[in-house]
């Protein structure tokens, strides 16, 4: 049985003060929720403060990105060692905004995944197609490429322990979302490829999240799908009450 994950990606929102206030309120709202892993990904400036505010609560913390080198002359970058020292347990890699706005490639994603694992962080590896790719019936081909190149060289046990987030790019911040059936089709395909390329155990253990305009009113239908193991939530994770509702409903099938 795979433990579901509900992760909130705050993107470039919340000062340190705002992040601490959110965490203090949110941890009380989810303190009695069981059977789900809860993750928040604050901006780097607030990461350590959120770790401290979430201490002794069910809330884990993720970085939103990292560089694949441990250190070096990479102005503006953050390493896995830095995230781990600050208290992060997870890191988001290959988010569609990183790919679209900052030129992130599948090769870069792969190097970052390897660095995250070496740095004792659990990668949340994002994949997904654009609207043009979906409308031209290339969704599954795009997913195949992103999985194959993004996870290249990993062992079956490494893949078993990471998290994949399927986020159709056309649903990020648009108010549109894949139907539960579309999400299940993509998730089943992803799990099938993991099974084909990394084995049955990896496929059975690897958790696959849906990301793309997840809200309290659609999380139940998404989680009802057999291959949807939770959600990577964007804008709806910025409000503690709304996000706690997603966590509660996302903890159940």
Point out the residues that are catalytic.
95, 167
Nearest one of 225, 201, 215 to 249, comparing CA atoms: 215
- What token pair was written down for 15? 């000062």
Question: What three-state secondary structure class fits 235?
Answer: helix
Q: Which two tokens stand for residue 41?
A: 């990904």
Tokens describing residue 34: 């069981």
Burial class of residue 45 in the structure, from the number of CB atoms within 10 Å of its CB (0-12 exposed, 13-18 middle, 19+ buried)? exposed
Distance (Å, rounded) from C-alpha 163 to C-alpha 159? 8
Separation between Cα atoms, residue 95 and residue 75, nearest integer Å: 21
* Structural contact between residues 146 and 158, judged by C-beta atoms closer than 8 angstroms: no
DSSP letter at 70? S
Q: Is 68 helix (H, G, I), strand (E, B) or coil?
A: coil
Least Cα distance to 120 among 90, 150, 92, 95 occurs for 90
Secondary structure (3-state) at 229: coil
Q: Within 13 Å and on the Cβ side, how many CA atoms surround 249? A: 17
- 30 token code pair: 């989810």
């Amino acid at each position: 049985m795979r433990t579901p994950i509900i992760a909130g990606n705050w993107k470039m929102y919340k000062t340190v003060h705002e992040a601490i206030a959110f965490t203090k309120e949110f941890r009380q709202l989810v303190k009695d929720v069981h059977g789900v892993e809860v993750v928040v990904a604050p901006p780097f400036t607030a990461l350590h403060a959120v770790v401290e505010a979430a201490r002794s609560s069910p809330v884990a913390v993720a970085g939103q990105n990292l560089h694949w080198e441990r250190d070096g002359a990479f102005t503006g970058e953050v390493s896995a060692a830095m995230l781990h020292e600050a208290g992060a347990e997870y890191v988001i890699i290959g988010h569609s905004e990183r790919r679209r706005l900052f030129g992130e490639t599948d090769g870069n994603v792969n190097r970052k995944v390897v660095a995250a694992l070496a740095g004792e962080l659990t990668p949340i590896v994002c994949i997904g197609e654009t609207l043009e790719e979906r409308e031209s019936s290339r969704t599954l081909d795009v997913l195949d490429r992103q999985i194959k190149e993004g996870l290249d060289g990993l062992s079956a046990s490494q893949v078993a322990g990471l998290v994949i987030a399927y986020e159709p790019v056309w649903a990020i911040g648009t108010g549109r979302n894949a139907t539960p059936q579309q999400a299940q089709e993509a998730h089943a395909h992803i799990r099938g490829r993991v099974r084909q390329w990394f084995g049955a155990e990896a496929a059975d253990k690897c958790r696959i999240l849906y990301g793309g305009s997840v809200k309290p009113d659609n999380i139940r239908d998404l989680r009802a799908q057999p291959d949807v193991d939770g959600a990577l939530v964007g804008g709806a994770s910025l409000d503690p009450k709304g996000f706690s509702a997603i966590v509660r409903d996302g903890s159940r099938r």
